[in-house]
């Protein structure tokens, strides 16, 4: 009996499964859309030990343990199985609570749509749920999805970053796409932690708890996040900054694998990897802060964090002294350092080179993609409040210019793998300092996965820097 039942169920499944919903059609709890290649499903679900119903997209893991990657009605659960997904007369995709036909969730599409009876909602093989005109065709790979799709779930991420999604801002429409963890494993409502791009200065990726930065990826240097080189073995990352957009995008370079990054309730994350053919899970890597130097501004201003064995240590930049020496001596570093000697603010000032750095918080920086390092130095010298400079991009010997103003926050030094940072000091501090090179003399450190799965995925496997 059981076998026949399974047979029937799977028959029914394959014969009725579709990847799209047209105007005039509706989808009830118990029904679903399945992407053409079978990887993703859109339907109603209840988290683990909850009875609330949510509309969501999940990855159809071979272990029959679906991984929810997107939730529509995160904040407004349905209390019964009477939910209904359909297009409104105006061509807006709506989730209704059938009992009283109140709108629980809807896609945001401008109301100026023409021919709205010609729309479909389609679940793509990427896991993206899109709304588009039924007969619209992409003419090239380069067609911007934003222009082509009237609405897409990739623009409203939940807690999961998937290949093809843009994490960041569309400056034209003010859309800000970021990840936010679930409130708990039973509640997909927006939780405390988020992962987003902070656009001020040179844009950077930060993890926040509420409105407070917990940790920060170093600025993108063309190859990786500054200070965290990684082997691009299974995917590649693009970072785009222009007048219209600022975003990170991950692309699978190994097509035999599929990978996502998910933020979890406690603020850390998981990198999940499956084989794309069989959808068997091959890896589930938790990402976490490897050490205290990863905590945002652990050493306060103008001070560098080192790991000395397992213990973090802070050291003022040269030409700076601790602001509150007593606290500093008791390893309370949060007050940071202040200038010991003021800058001359003429061209007698000079720079000290710090190697292997995680570059400071770029929200107080400006950038120029075309300047070279010497022009960068000159521009920093000309402006009295400029305190440091560095190359923006380290590829091909380095290009572009980052200039920092006022305080330098959240720096750390590695034994290997960081970037050169040039700190402005008065002439008096330059004397007797060799070639102006500052190097970490501390013991070896281990750089592993930081909070950002983007790094950790390859990072935990391939970039352990050996202790001396
Ligand atoms: C419809 O349902 C929602 C919640 O499910 C409830 O808050 C609202 O009062 C209901 N409206 C009517 C008219 O019953
Ligand atoms: C939809 O648009 C309205 C008005 O522009 C906005 O207030 C609302 O937050 C949007 N909803 C979503 C899910 O983006
Ligand atoms: C801090 O400690 C150093 C040596 O450990 C000592 O020379 C200095 O006087 C101390 N400063 C204060 C303010 O306690
Ligand atoms: C630079 O400024 C310092 C301090 O203000 C001053 O002593 C020095 O003479 C100046 N040098 C030049 C070349 O202007
Ligand atoms: C970058 O620097 C170059 C050379 O100094 C300058 O011509 C250009 O206008 C700068 N670009 C921006 C965006 O400031
Ligand atoms: C120095 O740079 C800052 C930040 O870009 C700017 O606001 C200020 O006007 C500059 N000062 C001078 C003297 O150019």
Give per-residue pLDDT as tens, 135-185: 766 555 544 555 678 899 999 999 999 999 999 999 999 999 999 999 999
CA distances in angstroms from 297 to 92, 294, 347, 407, 452, listed in the order given: 45, 8, 30, 11, 17
Closest CA to 413 of 230, 254, 218: 218
The response to whether residue 108 sits with its C-beta less than 6 Å from ligand 2 reads yes
Residue nearest ligand 1's atom 12 by CA: 100
Residue 33 and residue 42 in contact, taking contact as beta carbons nearer than 8 Å: yes
Q: Could you give the CA distance from residue 34 to residue 284 in angstroms, rounded to a whole number?
A: 24
What pLDDT does 14 receive? 44
Residue 149 and residue 131 in contact, taking contact as beta carbons nearer than 8 Å: yes
Pick out the chain residues at pLDDT < 50: 1-15, 142-143, 434-436, 441-451, 453-468
What pLDDT does 267 receive? 77
What pLDDT does 196 receive? 94
- The secondary element (H helix, E strand) that includes residue 377 is helix 373-382
Q: Could you give the CA distance from residue 278 to residue 367 in angstroms, rounded to a whole number?
A: 45
User: What counts of helices (H) and strands (E) characterise the chain?
Assistant: 6, 35
Q: For strands 411-413 and 350-358, give the pairing.
A: antiparallel
Instruction: Compute the half-sphere exposure of residue 365: CA atoms within 13 Å on the CB side of its CA.
Output: 28
Choose the residue to mutate in 348, 350, 430 for probing ligand 4, maximizing ligand atoms within 8 Å of C-beta: 348
pTM for the structure as a whole = 0.85
Q: Could you give the CA distance from residue 300 to residue 331 in angstroms, rounded to a whole number?
A: 12
Residue nearest ligand 1's atom 13 by CA: 100
The response to whether residue 330 sits with its C-beta less than 6 Å from ligand 3 reads no
For residue 328, the ligand closest to its alpha carbon is 3
Exposure b/e, 304-339, CB count within 10 A at least 16 = b:
bbbbeeeebbbbbbebbebbbeeebeeeebebbbeb
What pLDDT does 281 receive? 92
What pLDDT does 7 receive? 40
Residue nearest ligand 6's atom 9 by CA: 383
Q: Could you give the CA distance from residue 38 to residue 40 in angstroms, rounded to a whole number?
A: 6
Length of the chain in residues, anyone?
A: 468
Closest CA to 42 of 25, 66, 63: 66
Q: Is 255 exposed, middle or buried (0-12, 13-18, 19+ CB in 10 A)?
A: exposed
Give me ligand 3 centre to Cα 412, in Å: 23
The response to whether residue 259 sits with its C-beta less than 6 Å from ligand 1 reads no
What pLDDT does 11 receive? 37
Give the pair of three-digit tokens for residue 365: 């920086």
Give me ligand 1 centre to Cα 259, in Å: 39
Give the pair of three-digit tokens for residue 339: 């200038």
The response to whether residue 371 sits with its C-beta less than 6 Å from ligand 5 reads yes
The response to whether residue 435 sits with its C-beta less than 6 Å from ligand 3 reads no
């Amino acid at each position: 009996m059981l076998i026949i039942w399974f047979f029937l169920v799977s028959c029914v499944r394959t014969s009725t499964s579709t990847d799209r919903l047209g105007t005039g059609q509706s989808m009830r709890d118990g029904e679903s859309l399945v992407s053409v290649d079978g990887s993703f499903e859109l339907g109603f679900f209840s988290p683990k030990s909850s009875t609330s119903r949510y509309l969501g997209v999940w990855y159809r893991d071979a272990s029959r343990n679906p991984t929810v990657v997107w939730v529509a009605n995160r904040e407004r659960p349905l209390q019964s199985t009477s939910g209904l997904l359909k297009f409104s007369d105006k061509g807006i995709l709506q989730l209704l609570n059938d009992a009283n036909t109140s709108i629980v969730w809807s896609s945001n599409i401008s109301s100026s749509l023409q021919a709205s009876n010609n729309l479909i909602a389609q679940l793509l093989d990427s896991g993206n749920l899109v709304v588009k005109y039924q007969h619209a065709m992409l003419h090239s790979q380069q067609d911007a999805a934003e222009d082509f799709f009237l609405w897409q779930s990739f623009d409203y991420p939940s807690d999961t970053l998937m290949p093809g999604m843009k994490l960041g801002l569309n400056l034209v429409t003010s859309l800000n796409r970021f990840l936010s963890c679930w409130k708990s494993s039973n509640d997909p409502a927006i939780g405390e932690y988020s992962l987003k791009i902070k656009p001020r200065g040179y844009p950077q990726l930060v993890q926040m708890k509420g409105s407070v930065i917990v940790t920060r990826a170093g600025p993108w240097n063309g190859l990786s996040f500054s200070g965290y080189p990684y082997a691009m073995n299974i995917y590649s990352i693009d970072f785009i900054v222009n007048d219209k957009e600022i975003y990170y995008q991950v692309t699978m370079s190994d097509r035999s694998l599929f990978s996502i990054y998910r933020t979890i309730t406690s603020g850390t994350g998981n990198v999940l990897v499956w084989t794309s053919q069989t959808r068997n899970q091959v890896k589930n890597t938790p990402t976490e802060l490897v050490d205290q130097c990863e905590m945002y501004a652990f050493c306060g201003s103008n001070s560098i964090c080192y790991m000395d064995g397992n213990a973090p240590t802070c050291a003022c930049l040269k030409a700076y002294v601790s602001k509150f020496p007593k606290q500093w001596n008791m390893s309370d570093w949060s007050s940071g350092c202040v200038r010991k000697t003021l800058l001359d603010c003429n061209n007698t000032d000079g720079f000290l080179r710090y190697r292997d750095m995680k570059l400071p918080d770029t929200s107080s920086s400006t950038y120029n993609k075309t300047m070279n390092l010497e022009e960068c130095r000159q521009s920093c010298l000309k402006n009295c409040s400029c305190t440091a400079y560095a190359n923006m991009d380290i590829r091909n010997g380095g290009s572009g210019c980052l200039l920092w103003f006022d305080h330098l926050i959240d720096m750390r030094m590695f034994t290997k793998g960081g970037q050169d940072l040039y700190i402005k000091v008065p002439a008096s501090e330059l004397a007797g300092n060799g070639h102006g090179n500052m190097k970490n003399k501390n013991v070896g450190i281990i750089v592993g996965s930081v909070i950002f799965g983007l790094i950790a995925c390859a990072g935990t496997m391939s970039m352990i820097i050996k202790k001396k």
